[in-house]
Structure 1
Amino acid sequence: MSDKIGFFAGSFDPVTKGHVDIIKRASALFDKLYVGILYNKDKQGLFSIEERQSMLEESLTDLDNVTIVTAANSLAVDVARQLKATHLVRGLRGSEDLEHEARLNFFNHELAPELETIYLLTRLEMKYISSTHVRELIHFKSDLLGKYVPASVVRKVEKKFGKPSNQ
């Protein structure tokens, strides 16, 4: 019997507690789970790829079957194939994500019919957490940041941008 290998891709700019929850739950479903930081080398993110990778690694130290990989200007299905993944893993926060993911799944299936996509619903308490909203909290130096991101992100933010102004 062959190994079940999952691939969960995102920009993780930065990683949130919602991402970490999906990764932990997915890691229990697979023999091996790759978490892919996919990025466009021509676009500037808030955090460098190295910073994103470091924050993810620090947040996932207890997961022996998870490996972080990076890929520039690549389709997730192409990276998944290179890694010999059997499944794509996606998280769903709500109906807006479902519509987006359905369109994405259509093309992923056309490009790589051998890859099955599984969807994990975000836990209710994390439904509204997104990297976009977290970046806004970072911009305004909100002390709420620690509620929504792992400690590794809080440390990186404080080192890079300073402590929240209301602490």
Structure 2
Amino acid sequence: MTTLTFTPMTEDDFAVFWPTFQAIVAAQETYAIEPSISIEAARQLWLKAPKASVVAKDASGQLLGAYYLKANAAGPGDHVCNCGYMVAPAARGKGVARAMCEHSQQQAHQLGFLAMQYNAVVATNEVAVALWQKLGFSIVGTVPNAFRHAQLGFVDTHVMYKVLPGH
């Protein structure tokens, strides 16, 4: 794995990221996002609404992945954050998701979050489930048939949770 730099996502970064985002949601294998989402709605979801949106780039400046970080709930639940990660197809299997997850936990801690929760990790996304578990997340619940996978039909999702370091 090459050294990654993490910077806040810009509008230009989002334009570069859009094909990755579009391909991932269109595949209907990992994200419960409408496959025909418009670029404007995707920009709002990934770049505008979250507390932080971050890109991971290699030494040459190529965008390898991106993540968002936001409160999982409002008011009395706003101390737990939620993140979403997407890795460019050419960068998969090279440690980008791990690096983004580790970075997002540091960011979340700096922003005052006490824990991180993933609301709907698709159970058939075994690589992600295993990685999140290696990074200290526990499956705290499973929702039967909560995701309509493009190839497999109805599959389960996991709720995964981790208290952030220092809390």
TM-score (structure 2 length as normaliser): 0.30
TM-score (structure 1 length as normaliser): 0.30
Larger radius of gyration: 1
Structure holding more helix per residue? 1
- Greater relative CO (CA pairs within 8 A, separation 6+): 1
